[in-house]
């Protein structure tokens, strides 16, 4: 009789696991949003906690007010960014689109003066380029609903992040209650170490982002690169994605600089080459080694897996996730030698 009950229990457990995996597969996108928002809440919670410790006239602000101040600061920064950074770009794009039909004949005449240019059938290439531009415009129009869905996902993640910062302590206690009482203290200590490691990563990465953003803005401004303020901010922001973020943004800046002159493009590339060497030789060893202490191979594997699983979002959370996994493996999987 007891053996039959045990068999039934195993069967029900297997069915429950399969149903859970099926539901998780169907809700993969929603689970990704929840994970990203929870991870960002963990990263931002130390900032909110430090704000609540600030006293003025013997009073401390509440956690809710601190979150409101943080959200307001982010919204103000985004407003300034879009108000001063995007209008010049949009103006040049409109001017370029209106002047493009007039520039094409002059461009063809210049290209035909190049030696051996007639062998490449430039007229056909120009026609294909025009059709490609038309297809790109139609693609942007047809993909508008997908972009709107991404905006909805970003807003949902932002609201979830706010609620995690407000009520995350209750969710954390509920999560710990799922484990046996004797194992909770060890798990809690491990998660606290992971939180500390991720918080140090945020501080170190934020400092590197600030240094790159300021130095890029100054360098691009001195080189008179178009949209130098917008591009400098993007250089700093995309530096949150190790390796890939810098490569993508410097390729974008170099392309924009090349529209004016090859000299500006060379200046941009020389600046970035100098900065990368300074960052790798001086800044990163002193800032990041004491914060995350992850091997370069671990970071590359995390970026590769994160990008394959969730694209840009996966690359964004790859390093803090790697830090979390590393702490859990060190505690529960690594076999330590005791002497």
C-alpha to C-alpha distance for 217 and 223, rounded to whole angstroms: 10
H or E stretch at 56: strand 55-56
Nearest to 242 by CA among 294, 306, 297, 319: 319
CB 59 within 8 A of CB 182: no
Is 230 within the bounds of a domain? Answer: yes
CA distances from 201 to 35, 76, 242, 292 (A): 18, 25, 12, 5
Which of 40-54, 85-99, 154-168, 320-334 has the least mean pLDDT?
85-99
In three-state form (DSSP H/G/I as H, E/B as E, the rest C), the secondary structure along 292-307 is CCCCHHHHHHHHHHHH
Is 237 within the bounds of a domain? Answer: yes
Alpha carbon 272 to its chain's center: 20
CB 200 within 8 A of CB 292: yes
Is 58 within the bounds of a domain? Answer: no
Alpha carbon 195 to its chain's center: 19
Domain, as residue range, for 230: 182-339
Is 218 within the bounds of a domain? Answer: yes
Is 288 within the bounds of a domain? Answer: yes
Is 258 within the bounds of a domain? Answer: yes
Is 43 within the bounds of a domain? Answer: no
- Give me the long-range contacts of 146-153 (CB less than 8 A, separation at least 24): 153/29, 153/33
For residue 339, the model assigns a pLDDT of: 43
User: What pTM value is reported for the model?
Assistant: 0.68
For residue 95, give both structure tokens. Answer: 């001017």
Question: How confident is the model over 15-70, as pLDDT tens digits?
Answer: 888 888 888 888 888 888 888 888 888 778 878 888 888 777 777 788 888 888 88
Our count of domains for the chain comes to 1
Is 249 within the bounds of a domain? Answer: yes
> Could you give the count of Cα atoms lying within 13 Å of 237 in the half-sphere of its Cβ?
9
């Amino acid at each position: 009789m007891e053996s039959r009950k045990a068999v039934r229990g195993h069967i029900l457990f297997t069915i429950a696991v399969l149903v859970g995996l099926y539901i998780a597969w169907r809700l993969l996108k929603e689970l990704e949003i929840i994970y990203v928002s929870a991870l960002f809440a963990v990263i931002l919670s130390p900032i909110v906690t430090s704000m609540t410790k600030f006293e003025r006239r013997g009073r401390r602000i509440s956690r809710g007010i601190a979150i409101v101040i943080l959200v307001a600061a982010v919204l103000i920064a985004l407003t300034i960014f879009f108000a001063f950074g995007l209008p010049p770009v949009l103006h040049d794009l409109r001017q370029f689109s209106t002047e493009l039909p007039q520039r094409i004949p002059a461009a063809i005449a210049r290209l035909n003066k190049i030696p051996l240019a007639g062998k490449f059938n430039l007229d056909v290439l120009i026609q294909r380029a025009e059709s490609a531009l038309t297809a790109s415009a139609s693609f942007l129009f047809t993909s508008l609903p997908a972009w709107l869905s991404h905006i909805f996902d970003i807003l949902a993640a932002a609201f979830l992040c706010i609620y995690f910062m407000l009520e995350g302590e209750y969710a954390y206690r509920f999560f710990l209650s799922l484990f046996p009482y004797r194992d909770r203290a060890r798990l809690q200590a491990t998660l606290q170490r992971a939180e500390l490691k991720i918080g140090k990563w945020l501080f170190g990465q934020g400092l590197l982002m600030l240094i790159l953003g300021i130095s890029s803005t100054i360098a691009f401004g001195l080189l008179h690169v178009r949209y130098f303020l917008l591009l400098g901010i993007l250089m700093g922001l995309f530096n949150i994605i190790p390796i890939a973020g810098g490569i993508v943004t410097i390729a974008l800046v170099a392309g924009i600089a090349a529209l004016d002159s090859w000299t500006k493009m060379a200046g941009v590339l020389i600046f970035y080459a100098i900065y990368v060497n300074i960052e790798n030789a001086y800044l990163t060893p002193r800032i990041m080694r004491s914060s995350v202490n992850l091997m370069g191979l671990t970071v590359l594997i995390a970026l590769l897996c994160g990008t394959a699983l969730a694209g840009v979002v996966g690359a964004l959370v790859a390093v803090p996730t790697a830090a979390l996994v590393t702490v859990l493996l060190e505690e529960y999987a690594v076999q330590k030698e005791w002497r």
